[in-house]
Structure 1
Amino acid sequence: MRKHVQRYFDAELANELGLPAGKKRIYVQFKIDKDGSITSIRARAPHPRLKKEAERIVKKLPKMKPGRQRGKAVRVGYTLPITFNVE
């Protein structure tokens, strides 16, 4: 998942937005459904365009293996932090 974020996330977007320099974090929450699809995507970011970018790359994630509990597939919540530096 980290490689996917590094490959597709446009960190240069933060420099264009005029955010103050320093370390920035975006938190993306989503659920991996019983069939392995990504659902219920929500993000918190320092700028609305960064939020949209984070949601965009999570939607591009490939189908996952669903969680299992007592032998059955179950929905699993996941939080993905994205950290980058603004120069």
Structure 2
Amino acid sequence: MKNIFTIFLFFTSCISFAQQDVDVTGNKVTIKESAPVWPGCENSKDQKACFNAELMQHIKENYKYPRNNNGDLIRGKAVIKLEINKAGEVVVRSVEGEKPEVNLAAETMIKKIPKLKPGRKGGKPTTANYTIPLTL
């Protein structure tokens, strides 16, 4: 009777500690991952396309072209490396480009991205890294 109780407790503890979005089939373990979700894209059929569309709209609406001393717009290229952390906040890791004014304007624009629903891995929030090349 003691052995049956021990076996029962073992199986109960295995089931109760199983992770969400983790599938074990034979020797194969599959962990489901999902990308961060832009606010308003939660119910979209294609969340990735919605995310990309919202990001492009954000860039169009929030990027402010810097001006030189003559008042002319400064244009250039910038590569932005960012992460969306476990809390859904955007953290700019680096902005690389030839023109410091463009780099600063691009970083300011990226920091205005709203809080997102973080990506998930195995049912738990995870950090997602992105690299965005821009010609501004």
* TM-score normalised by length of structure 2: 0.52
Which of 51, 56, 63 in structure 2 is aligned with 1:2? Answer: 56
Q: Percent identity?
A: 27
What residue ranges of structure 2 are gaps of 5+ in the alignment? 1-54
Structure having the higher Rg: 2
8 A Cα contact 1:41 1:55, kept in partner: no
Question: What's the RMSD between the two structures over aligned residues?
Answer: 2.0
Residue deviations 1:3-52, cap 9 Å, x none?
A: 100111124648544x7xxxx42111111000100114310122001110
Number of residue pairs matched?
A: 79
Greater relative contact order: 1 or 2 (C-alpha under 8 angstroms, separation 6 or more)? 1
Query: Of 100, 120, 126, which residue of structure 2 is paired with 1:48?
Result: 100
| TM-score calculated relative to the size of structure 1 | 0.77
Q: What does residue 38 of structure 2 align with?
A: none
Give the whole-Å Cα distance in 1 for the aligned partners of 2:96 and 2:110. 13
* Aligned: 1:31 with 2:83: yes
Partner of 2:124: 72
Matched residue of 2:113: which SS? coil
Q: Which 5+ residue runs of structure 1 have no aligned equivalent?
A: none
- Letter of the 2:99 counterpart: H
- Tell me the distance in 2 between the aligned counterparts of 1:76 and 1:38: 10
More strand by share: 1
| Separation (CA, whole Å) in 2 of partners of 1:40 and 1:8 | 16
1:9 and 1:54 in contact (8 A); partners too: yes
